[in-house]
Amino acid sequence: MASFDQYSDKYQSIRMERRDGILQMTFHTDGDSLQWGSIPHQEVPEAFADIGSDRENLVVIMTGTGAAFTGPPGTPESTPKRTPQEWDKTYWEGKHLLSNLLDIEVPMISAINGPALRHSELPLLCDIVLAAEEASFQDSGHFINGLIPGDGMHIIYPMLLGLNRGRYFLLTGQTIEAREAKELGLVSEVLPRQDLLPRAWELAEQLTKQSPLVLRYTRVLLTQYIKRQMHDLLGYGLALEGLGSADSLLNRG
C-alpha cells in the first residue's frame, strides 16, 4: 500500500494535491501544458498504480495545465520507429497505462482544460467527464502520421462513439470539439474554463458523501466491461502497433 507522502512529489510530469480524500492529479510539463513523450509515458502508469494502492483516496480528479490537456500534435517525424526489443518497453508501459488507470478503485472525474491531442482516451476513461469550452479530441499520434492506433484508441473510441464513427475518427484524424463531444456522449458537461475545476470538486465532494465501500465497489462494477475489452484487445493492439513501428524502421530512408 502506498501513502500520499510517498508519491505526491515523486513525478515530474504530475502535480498532486489532496483534501478530504479527494486527490487532484494535474498533468504538466515544466509547469505548462503536458507535452507527451517518454517521461510521461513511463510516469503516468506508475502514478496510477500508486494512487490506486492508497486506501485514503476516495475520489480522483484528473486535469491538465495551461491551454491544452495534452499535446503536442503528432507528426510523421515524431512517430516512433523501433525494433521489437525497443518496442517492448512501449508495450509494457502501454498496457499498464490503461490497466493501472482502470485498477484505481474509486470514482474518477476528468476536467479537460483544453485540446487533448495525445492519449485523449485517458480522460475519457474517467467515470465523469467534464470539458472546458476550448477542449477538443483527436488521435494525432497514430494513423494519420503512420502509426497503428493499437494502444487502446482502437478500443475506447469505437466503444464510445460506435463502431463506424469510431473507425472514421481514427482513420481520418478527425477533431471533435467540446460541444460536439457532448452531443456524441464523450463528455457529460461543457463549462467555461474558469468553472471547470470548481465543478469537478463540487461533484467529488458530492460523491464522498457515500461510504468508502460504496464508492469503491461502484467504480469496480462500472469498469468491469471496459477491463474485459482491454484484457481481450489491448495487448494484441500494442503488438500490431509494434510491428508497424518496426516496419517503418526497416523502410525509412
Tell me what pLDDT residue 169 has. 98
Q: Which residue has the cell 469503491?
A: 216
Write out pLDDT tens, residues 129-140. Answer: 999 999 999 999
Tell me what pLDDT residue 208 has. 98
At 162, give phi and psi (nearest 5°): 100, 155
The DSSP bridge pattern shows strands 136-137 and 70-71 to be: unpaired
Q: How far, in Å, CA of 155 to CA of 174, rounded?
A: 17
User: What is the model's pTM?
Assistant: 0.96
Write out pLDDT tens, residues 193-215. Answer: 999 999 999 999 999 999 999 99
Mean pLDDT estimate for the chain:
96
Q: Of 65-74, 88-97, 231-240, 242-251, where does mean pLDDT reach its minimum?
A: 242-251
Superfamily of domain 4-197+211-251, CATH level 4: 2-enoyl-CoA Hydratase; Chain A, domain 1 (3.90.226.10)
Write out pLDDT tens, residues 74-107. Answer: 788 777 788 889 999 999 999 999 999 999 999 9
Confidence of residue 253 (pLDDT cuts 50, 70, 90): very low
Write out pLDDT tens, residues 131-165. Answer: 999 999 999 999 999 999 999 999 999 999 999 99
Tell me what percent of the residues of the chain surpass a pLDDT of 70.
Answer: 99
Write out pLDDT tens, residues 172-197. Answer: 999 999 999 999 999 999 999 999 99
Q: What is the average per-residue pLDDT within 227-251?
A: 93
Give the residue numbers annotated as catalytic, written as ranges.
121
Helices (H), 25-83: 38-52
Tell me what percent of the residues of the chain surpass a pLDDT of 90.
Answer: 90
Q: How far, in Å, CA of 39 to CA of 29, rounded?
A: 10
Q: 227, 107, 115: which is closest to 181 by C-alpha?
A: 115
Write out pLDDT tens, residues 3-52. Answer: 999 999 999 999 999 999 999 999 999 999 999 999 999 999 999 999 99
With 70 as the cut, is the pLDDT of residue 56 above it?
yes
Q: Grid coordinates in use for 34?
A: 503536458
With 90 as the cut, is the pLDDT of residue 1 above it?
no
Tally of CA atoms within 13 A in the half-sphere of 229 that contains its CB: 18
Report whether 96 contacts 60 (CB < 8 A): no
